[in-house]
Amino acid sequence: MMVSFIVIGRNEAAHLKKCLQSVVDTIQQNQLHAELLYVDSQSTDESVAIANAFELCRVYGITGQCNAAIARNIGAKEAQGESLFFIDGDMELQVSFIPKVLNNDGSLKHPFVSGNFINHYYDSENNFIAEDYYRKIFCNEDTLQPTTGGLFAIKRELWESGGGMRPKFKRGQDLDLGYRLAQKGYLLLRKKETMAIHHTIDYKFSKRLWSDLLSGTGLYSRSVLYRCHLSNKYVLKRMLSSDPTMLVLVFLLLTTFIFLSLWPLFIYPFIVLIAVGYSMRKKLSLMLFERWLVQILRDVQVLGGLFLFYPSNQVEYQYEQV
């Protein structure tokens, strides 16, 4: 049975060679009957040339509308395998992980599976800062979870039964897939072993916080996600844990409307300050005010998006082999 490794990327030249080499090493050292595909989302750096330098790699370039969901759907469409491994171009697959999830014939032991991964953090100049496990998904023992990131393996039949990824999610498309499958009874098996190393800019880096806010990341990974899954118990749990200050804002807005008074809204900034301060309690710094402001703006953006932001799911895929 063939295994398909599908790598996606946009301007990942700094790490793409390591990513593709790690997949080649994984295939060779585990003696897999496998293929490697790279789907590029209109990179302006050397990503395509780097990918084409790998003899094993088939390279596709998106010529029309592009995002991660579209890239993964194209990769799955062009792949020939029944076991699909999705990897982001800034990740290094760990060779030793594959035997944990594949049978000898190349079939997946579990229909939907991933593992821990270690973040290597960089600043905006690509200088290494630190490393740590991605704590939001980290597990000390194999655990069933309702969400995935960009790093996972899935049986083709399950991928197709879920309709792949919905292209209207420019961000959060992996969360949407995970929640849809979870509601059908297919939870992601998170293995305790490390599946990959992830090279990324620190999620709490000031420039990244503002970039995510201004690009409207939360509109997709929160507003659209919440609206599409209002009846999904797993998403409701996520809302309570990830966006408690937004829920406080909703409650205070309702209170303001009911009592025809703006005074309840004046409580909201102080609640946000307490929440942000608590989250930064181990490293309280001068960034407190900035994080406080970003949190308020994000809450307002996400709440507004719940009612006003409706991206289209109709996309005609345009791409070519390059």
Do both 147 and 289 map to the same domain?
no
Q: How many domains does the chain have?
A: 2
Q: Which domain holds residue 277?
A: 209-308
Is residue 315 included in any domain, yes or no? no
pLDDT at residue 169 tops 70: yes
Do both 180 and 220 map to the same domain?
no
- The pLDDT of 282-309, averaged and rounded, is 89
Question: CA of 122: how far to CAs of 40, 44, 201, in Å?
Answer: 22, 21, 5
Contacts of 242 (CB under 8 A, 6+ apart): 222
- The pLDDT of 124-147, averaged and rounded, is 90
Q: Distance from CA of residue 216 to its chain's centroid? A: 15
pLDDT band at 303 (very low <50, low <70, confident <90, very high): very high
pLDDT band at 1 (very low <50, low <70, confident <90, very high): confident
- The pLDDT of 56-81, averaged and rounded, is 97
Share of the chain above pLDDT 90, in %: 85
CATH code for position 150:
3.90.550.10
pLDDT band at 304 (very low <50, low <70, confident <90, very high): very high
pLDDT at residue 209 tops 80: yes
Do both 83 and 176 map to the same domain?
yes
Is residue 94 included in any domain, yes or no? yes
The residue among 66, 75, 179, 199 whose CA lies nearest residue 128 is: 199
The pLDDT score that the predictor gives to residue 15 is 95
Is residue 320 included in any domain, yes or no? no
Do both 146 and 293 map to the same domain?
no
SS3 222: helix
Tens digit of pLDDT for each residue in 69-121? Answer: 999 999 999 999 999 999 999 999 999 999 999 999 999 999 999 999 999 99
Do both 233 and 195 map to the same domain?
no
Is residue 313 included in any domain, yes or no? no
Is residue 64 included in any domain, yes or no? yes
Question: β-strands 188-201, 91-93: how paired?
Answer: antiparallel
- The pLDDT of 222-239, averaged and rounded, is 94
Do both 20 and 112 map to the same domain?
yes
Is residue 317 included in any domain, yes or no? no
Q: Measure the CA–CA gap between 181 and 187, rounded to whole angstroms.
A: 7
pLDDT at residue 285 tops 70: no
The pLDDT score that the predictor gives to residue 284 is 62
Do both 192 and 218 map to the same domain?
no
Is residue 18 included in any domain, yes or no? yes
- The pLDDT of 164-186, averaged and rounded, is 96
Do both 193 and 242 map to the same domain?
no
Q: Where are the alpha helices (DSSP H) in the chain?
A: 13-29, 47-52, 68-78, 98-101, 156-161, 173-183, 206-214, 217-218, 225-228, 233-242, 244-259, 268-279, 288-308
Domain final position from 178, 202, 226: 202
pTM over 0.85: yes
- The first and second tokens of residue 172, run together, are 């959060």
Domain final position from 170, 185, 202: 202
pLDDT at residue 192 tops 80: yes
Do both 187 and 243 map to the same domain?
no
Is residue 321 included in any domain, yes or no? no
Domain final position from 202, 226, 261: 202
Share of the chain above pLDDT 70, in %: 98
- The pLDDT of 250-274, averaged and rounded, is 94
